Structure 1
Amino acid sequence: MRQPPQPRPTTPGSPVRRREYDPRANAAAKPDPRAAGNRRAWPGRGKRGAAAAMPMKKTTAPSTKEMSEHKKIIKIEAQVSLQALAGRMSLKATEVLMKLLSMGMPGVNINSTLDADTAKLVASEFGWEVEDVAVSEEDALNMARDDTDEDQANLELRPPIVTVMGHVDHGKTSLLDQIRRTNVVSSEAGGITQHIGAYRVNTSRGYITFLDTPGHAAFTQMRLRGAQVTDIVILVVAADDGVMPQTREAISHARAAQVPIIVAVNKIDKEGANPERIRREMSDLGLVPEEWGGETIFCDVSAKSREGLDALLEMTALQAELLELRANPKKPAIGNVIEALLDRGKGPVARVVITDGTLSTGDVILAGTSWGKVRAMTDDRGRMVRSAGPSMPVEILGLSEVPSAGDPIHVVKGVKIAQDLAQQRRTKVSSSLIPASAKVSLEDLTKRIAEADLLELRIIIKADVQGSVEAVADALANLTTDKVRVAIIHAGVGGITEGDVNLAVASRAIIVGFNVRPAGKAGQLAESEGIEIRLYSVIYNAIDDVKSAMLGLIGPSYEERLLGKAEVRQTFHIAKIGTVAGCFVQEGTMRRNAKLRLVRDSVQIFEGRFASLKRFKDDAREVDKGFECGLSIDGYNDIKVGDVVECFEVAEVQASL
């Protein structure tokens, strides 16, 4: 048997041959053809063996240049972390960070996530090419559709989506209450609509979907969302009140959305109602009644007696027929989030209106930065449904997080696509929050110094639905003045948690809850930490209380009020008393218990209090203008003829914002 070669012994100073000790090096230097199992390739002994030996086929290994070019391309999907990009280029993250900073991107740090454009730019500086292989949002949304979705033959008439708008307390919800024949308004706090309600009503001319929007000033965004989704706006105006601020705003929203307006003159049965005056006022705003030669439909109604409701529904259906509203119920659904909330038992809940297509249980949907598979759907009556067609309002479960009210909804092909698109959108939102430049100008510095003098009231807001969160946050933030800034530290949907309380402790904030309550031990923690939690169900009460808190933060201010002036005509020195001045009161009244100021040659030389005030020899509490008096000053005797004694008081003044 053939023995393997033994390593030769070495002596100090003799070279060590790597092949003798490293089998990998030995194999690389002298490949063993027998390892391939080809016995004929092994050269045999003698002439026959030599003749039988076959030459080995040479293979060409890729060149170093080809390998380098292959490795110079980095593929990403829309974004990549700075550290991951550095690793794939075999660089330290600090090298990439310094390069970004030198390129004028001061907002980045070692934990930043880079979008595709930024990654391409910085990678090119190191000789690398970045290829974005992410599917575009447009392509991803189109994957769920086919050519038949746009086929005109599949279009069908759909019910109109009608938004009810108007000024607060003009009877919008009561009017809709009568149309639905339910009692919604009694369930709203203070009889005021707090968030958008979506209802489907079956009339003699088919279904109509109604959106009831809040009327008070804080809910501007919710009215705007209602106008964007709607086909027709019913503008409710009280016959005894007339055009108000939210009436004008509703008209602006409807015109911006380019939708027709039907004016419902409500409360015509109330004393002082004047429908003709309403028509004149609306004409001044460009809404001329049809009977006056204009194009706007006016309906006189009473939500209390139901008078005129049938005519209103008839005119609404007629307007919808003129619009020829059509949709394709066979295509994947498209819709809008009307309202969203976090339910303790159900998780994220979204109230949506389908504008086109059909949404079915099990569909994968994308709504803003939220995604999910529809687990369950209920209609506006609370009944479980398996599908929702065009113009139908439904409440859906199964989303990953609470979407923002107003977010569009799209059905997508699968869960992976929905997750990727949601992540792309989150990245865009995060990058938009990074300041474009960190340069500080003198103007910025002056502004910061001025802001440092501002008092700050920090608030954490929690509410039942997303629309209420936005409305409360906007209303409270708009209370900021030159003296007090209202800073919204955090705003979210759901009950008040221990995390909210801990955040309030860290930021020294108060917590405002709107239609929510403390969850678990949050209330106890807030009490032990001294954190104030204020709970509301009507937004006006929250606004009033925050104003009071702002005034309390300012504290009282004081104002000096001049009461009178007296000229010193004579002076006398009396033992044990000191200098007594004989004075003539020139203005106002000199009062014994007030403060005084001694002025000589228009310069104040002393401020103190009266030691005595007399009228002849009698003590006096006060001496009026035109009379003489004698007075002495407590602790001061250097009084001279011609001096002026001013009498004044310091009064507390109510703080103002």
Structure 2
Amino acid sequence: MEKIRISSLAKELGVKSSLLIDKCHERGLTHITHHANTLVPEQAEMIRQLFQPSTKVTPAEEPKVKETVPPPIVEQKKEVKTVPQAGNVVKVVQPNKVVTVHRGSAPAQKQVVRVTPVKSYWKKKHPPSNISPKRREHLEEVAEVKKPIIKEKETKVIMESPITVKDLSSKLGIRANEIITKLLLEHNIRVTINQILKEDIVHLLGIEYGIEIEIRKREVVEEHNFIAEQVSTKVEDMVHRAPIVTFLGHVDHGKTSLLDSIRQTDVAAGEIGGITQHIGAYKVEMNGKHVVFLDTPGHEAFTAMRARGANITDVVVLVVAADDGVMPQTEEALNHAKAANVPIVVAVNKIDKPGANPMRVKQQLAGLDLIPEEWGGKTQFVETSAITKKGIDTLLERLLLESEILELKANPKNPARGVVLEAHLSEGRGVVASILIQDGTLHQGDIILCGKTFGRARLMTNERGIDLKEAGPAIPVSVSDFSEVPEAGDKFFVVNDIQKAREIAQERQKKERETSLMKFQHVTLDSLYSRIAEGKVKEIKVILKADYKGSVEVLKKALEGLSTPEIKVKILHCGVGGITESDVLLADASDAFVIGFYVTTEDKARILAEEKGVEVRLYKIIYDATNEIKAAMEGMLEPETKEVVLGQIEIRLVYNISKIGNVAGCYVKSGKITRNASVRLIRDSIIIYDGKLESLKIVKDDVREVRAGHECGIKIANYDDIKVGDIVEAYEVQKIARTLTG
């Protein structure tokens, strides 16, 4: 049996050896890798059959070839070079390619011949009979043509709000750049890929792309969905709880000192400037009963913190100094208590001081609808003294009486819930929050959901620093291990599933970010003028860091409250903790300065601030911070201008000097005229010209000023139309520094 080389077979068929090698691989002859490899006769015949449609034909058989081969296709232009042979030959090298056709001795002609592909050919024609059954089955499988699966275009999609350009692009299968360009060119709407689109714009885009878009509200897992099931309101489980009492009043009226007397401590001495900087919560026992006291800061800047204290309290003690009377912050505190709709007990403090007049205090408060019981009203007044301890027991009795009237109850079997009083970063403990439990019992290790943060109550301590394993209703505790610093005033709940707590916290964070993005507004014709005007407004840019979240809120509000129509205080960033390198870098990039309240600057941040020239100010008293910012703002105010008339002179002679112009000989009628003064030329009581002097002389000498009763010569700069009898009025514009209140 004589074998045939690949190169010889390729020459016989008029094709390249590489093509034959590929065909051999398609037919399972994987050992053929080189043109020198050989094939047995059966294998060679199988390969010849693959090229059967392009074998030699006679002129008489040409119509049969035309039956197999479709008419020429003119759109194909590519030429494939073939090997010419004698006689009438049609050589097809590749399907649907241009080939060279030889008709006897006639010149070669180029013609496009469509040849059915091998796989399709085997689908239409049965394989040759001389192929084994196994090989026949393989060829039939190879010849099977798979139809492409065409996915129908969706006509309706469902999306959850909010929807960004990126979300819409992914859902519709349209490039984000195309959507952005379409909105800009066709609707004059500028958007970015992560910007949230309004629902009407989403529907409009859906109509234009031929897709109906149904927008559904995102299902948010909230705490009430799984907390309500845990709360029990059974009467047999309810117990009396201690009243939560808040001390409110004007600064330096003795709130903290009075509270010190009640709980026999000395907190006021430890406060900087004698002013309470943070909310404190303390539990006091009297005759077997407990009272929880909240001591809110007394400075007027802490309005929000006092309001928060009034909203979580059961009874408010309004402290008024007997020697000072009702002050602005007293009225403010009273309004917070009324807004919270809680009972009010008035403590007329400092009764031991000379000049104390409790009657005047009662009269002033009566004018504010706070009528004493002895005058037929409902408000209890107690005269107290933090120094002599007078009235302390009476005040506690009144507070317990009020709590009995309120019938305060809680269920210690419930999961704990309450309010965050304060939160800060503590070295070694991480995030620490002071919380007040309003209902239920908090156990060590409980999962807590609080606003946009969550965590476990790994370490609990009371106000004296004693570790606790659990804490019941109306007990203030300090808890650590939150994921981030919670907001003061946030409500907290104990939940069973930490994964659900994480989901809710993350959803709230996302919602807050989306809300901030939605605040962006495009420029309209109505707002264009105001935007231009705002471009002239000066700004003081501040980065604010403080030790407690409440302090951050208060300082931010106090500083922003200093803004005027001309100068605005803009807080670029605020947070809890020390001043870091990132704070300094932000200040450097934004041309801002850093304010730290009761915090320190890290060493690296201090060195970086010196290198960048960033100013870092540290304060321990809020007065100092606000006063210095106020002074800086006053320095940025445009000064007031005031025009002061210096004197009047009369032109009596006019001289024309070549190359100089007209020079006036004058007489000073009143006041004086100075060399640097501005002047007005007045003729018939009408101002003809307003400008500056070019020269002022007496005879030939230059002088700085000439007073009334003397003669002088003047030259008005860039003006020569002067006449005898004209009056020249000298004046100057004085700039007067302004204040924020001025």
TM-score of the pair, normalised by structure 1: 0.81
Deviation at 1:600, TM superposition (A): 2.6
Q: In structure 2, do the counterparts of structure 1 residues 536 and 107 end up closer, same or farther at CA, with 3 Å as the change threshold?
A: farther
Are residues 1:656 and 2:708 paired? no
1:218 maps to 301
1:56-95 equivalence runs, <5 A:
83=166, 87=170, 92=175
1:166 maps to 249
Q: In structure 2, do the counterparts of structure 1 residues 349 and 138 end up closer, same or farther at CA, with 3 Å as the change threshold?
A: closer
2:515 maps to 432
| Separation (CA, whole Å) in 1 of partners of 2:266 and 2:621 | 19
1:234 maps to 317
Deviation at 1:189, TM superposition (A): 1.5
Are residues 1:394 and 2:394 paired? no
| Separation (CA, whole Å) in 1 of partners of 2:138 and 2:345 | 91
| Separation (CA, whole Å) in 1 of partners of 2:119 and 2:298 | 92
Deviation at 1:202, TM superposition (A): 1.8
2:119 maps to 17
Cα deviations by residue, 1:217-244 (Å, 9 ceiling, x for unpaired): 2111101110111000001111111112
1:630 maps to 711
- Could you say what secondary structure the match of 2:517 adopts? coil
Q: Do the aligned partners of 2:675 and 2:693 also contact (CA within 8 Å) in 1?
A: no
1:450-529 equivalence runs, <5 A:
450-529=533-612
Q: Do the aligned partners of 1:144 and 1:412 also contact (CA within 8 Å) in 2?
A: no
**Residue identity matched to 1:633:** I
2:455 maps to 372
**1:423 is matched with which residue: 497, 506, 521?**
506
Q: In structure 2, do the counterparts of structure 1 residues 104 and 165 end up closer, same or farther at CA, with 3 Å as the change threshold?
A: farther
Q: In structure 2, do the counterparts of structure 1 residues 314 and 638 end up closer, same or farther at CA, with 3 Å as the change threshold?
A: same
1:33 maps to none
Worse overlay, 388-397 or 338-347: 338-347
Are residues 1:590 and 2:675 paired? no
Cα deviations by residue, 1:399-418 (Å, 9 ceiling, x for unpaired): 10001111000111211000
Deviation at 1:345, TM superposition (A): 2.2
**Residue identity matched to 2:252:** D
Q: In structure 2, do the counterparts of structure 1 residues 101 and 241 end up closer, same or farther at CA, with 3 Å as the change threshold?
A: farther
**2:647 is matched with which residue: 564, 581, 587?**
564
| Separation (CA, whole Å) in 2 of partners of 1:75 and 1:202 | 58
Q: In structure 2, do the counterparts of structure 1 residues 634 and 493 end up closer, same or farther at CA, with 3 Å as the change threshold?
A: same
2:364 maps to 281
**Residue identity matched to 2:510:** T
| Separation (CA, whole Å) in 2 of partners of 1:221 and 1:249 | 11
Q: In structure 2, do the counterparts of structure 1 residues 68 and 74 end up closer, same or farther at CA, with 3 Å as the change threshold?
A: farther
RMSD, aligned α-carbons:
4.1
**Residue identity matched to 1:291:** E
1:45 maps to none
Cα deviations by residue, 1:255-299 (Å, 9 ceiling, x for unpaired): 111100011111111222111000000000000001111000111
| Separation (CA, whole Å) in 1 of partners of 2:140 and 2:320 | 93
1:599 maps to 681
Worse overlay, 309-318 or 645-654: 645-654
Cα deviations by residue, 1:376-417 (Å, 9 ceiling, x for unpaired): 111111111111111111111011000111100011121100
Cα deviations by residue, 1:144-192 (Å, 9 ceiling, x for unpaired): 605xx11111110000101100111111111112212111112211111
Q: In structure 2, do the counterparts of structure 1 residues 477 and 641 end up closer, same or farther at CA, with 3 Å as the change threshold?
A: same
| Separation (CA, whole Å) in 2 of partners of 1:420 and 1:210 | 35
Q: Do the aligned partners of 1:335 and 1:409 also contact (CA within 8 Å) in 2?
A: yes
2:87 maps to none
2:15 maps to none
Deviation at 1:344, TM superposition (A): 2.9
Q: Do the aligned partners of 1:610 and 1:631 also contact (CA within 8 Å) in 2?
A: no
1:409 maps to 492
- Could you say what secondary structure the match of 1:174 adopts? helix
2:338 maps to 255
Q: Number of paired residues? A: 605
Deviation at 1:107, TM superposition (A): 8.4
Are residues 1:304 and 2:380 paired? no
For structure 1, the 5+ residue unaligned runs are: 31-63
Q: Do the aligned partners of 1:599 and 1:645 also contact (CA within 8 Å) in 2?
A: yes
Deviation at 1:361, TM superposition (A): 1.1
Worse overlay, 214-223 or 400-409: 214-223
Q: Do the aligned partners of 1:579 and 1:638 also contact (CA within 8 Å) in 2?
A: no
1:341-360 equivalence runs, <5 A:
341-360=424-443
1:111-190 equivalence runs, <5 A:
111=194, 126=211, 136-142=221-227, 145=230, 149-190=232-273
Worse overlay, 554-563 or 272-281: 554-563
| Separation (CA, whole Å) in 2 of partners of 1:118 and 1:376 | 50
Q: In structure 2, do the counterparts of structure 1 residues 23 and 474 end up closer, same or farther at CA, with 3 Å as the change threshold?
A: farther
**1:549 is matched with which residue: 625, 629, 632?**
632
Deviation at 1:608, TM superposition (A): 2.5
Deviation at 1:117, TM superposition (A): 12
Q: In structure 2, do the counterparts of structure 1 residues 116 and 197 end up closer, same or farther at CA, with 3 Å as the change threshold?
A: farther
2:84 maps to none
1:37 maps to none
**Residue identity matched to 2:466:** R
| Separation (CA, whole Å) in 1 of partners of 2:501 and 2:202 | 23
**Residue identity matched to 2:692:** E
Q: Do the aligned partners of 2:256 and 2:295 also contact (CA within 8 Å) in 1?
A: yes
Instruction: Give aligned-pair identity as a percent.
Output: 42
Q: Do the aligned partners of 1:116 and 1:132 also contact (CA within 8 Å) in 2?
A: no
**Residue identity matched to 1:632:** G
Q: In structure 2, do the counterparts of structure 1 residues 563 and 118 end up closer, same or farther at CA, with 3 Å as the change threshold?
A: closer
Q: Do the aligned partners of 1:366 and 1:422 also contact (CA within 8 Å) in 2?
A: yes
2:621 maps to 538
For structure 2, the 5+ residue unaligned runs are: 1-26, 30-45, 55-114, 124-134, 658-662
Deviation at 1:204, TM superposition (A): 2.6
Q: In structure 2, do the counterparts of structure 1 residues 548 and 23 end up closer, same or farther at CA, with 3 Å as the change threshold?
A: farther
| Separation (CA, whole Å) in 2 of partners of 1:438 and 1:25 | 66
Q: Do the aligned partners of 2:676 and 2:693 also contact (CA within 8 Å) in 1?
A: no
**Residue identity matched to 2:528:** L
| Separation (CA, whole Å) in 1 of partners of 2:165 and 2:276 | 48
2:69 maps to none
Cα deviations by residue, 1:314-354 (Å, 9 ceiling, x for unpaired): 11111111111000011001100111112232211111100
1:198 maps to 281
Deviation at 1:428, TM superposition (A): 1.9
- Could you say what secondary structure the match of 1:332 adopts? coil
Cα deviations by residue, 1:75-111 (Å, 9 ceiling, x for unpaired): 98x9887656755676655577789999999686433
1:329-348 equivalence runs, <5 A:
329-348=412-431
Q: In structure 2, do the counterparts of structure 1 residues 603 and 74 end up closer, same or farther at CA, with 3 Å as the change threshold?
A: closer
Deviation at 1:130, TM superposition (A): 7.9
| Separation (CA, whole Å) in 1 of partners of 2:214 and 2:691 | 81
Q: Do the aligned partners of 1:205 and 1:317 also contact (CA within 8 Å) in 2?
A: no
Q: Do the aligned partners of 2:654 and 2:724 also contact (CA within 8 Å) in 1?
A: no
1:269 maps to 352
**Residue identity matched to 2:667:** G
**Residue identity matched to 1:603:** I
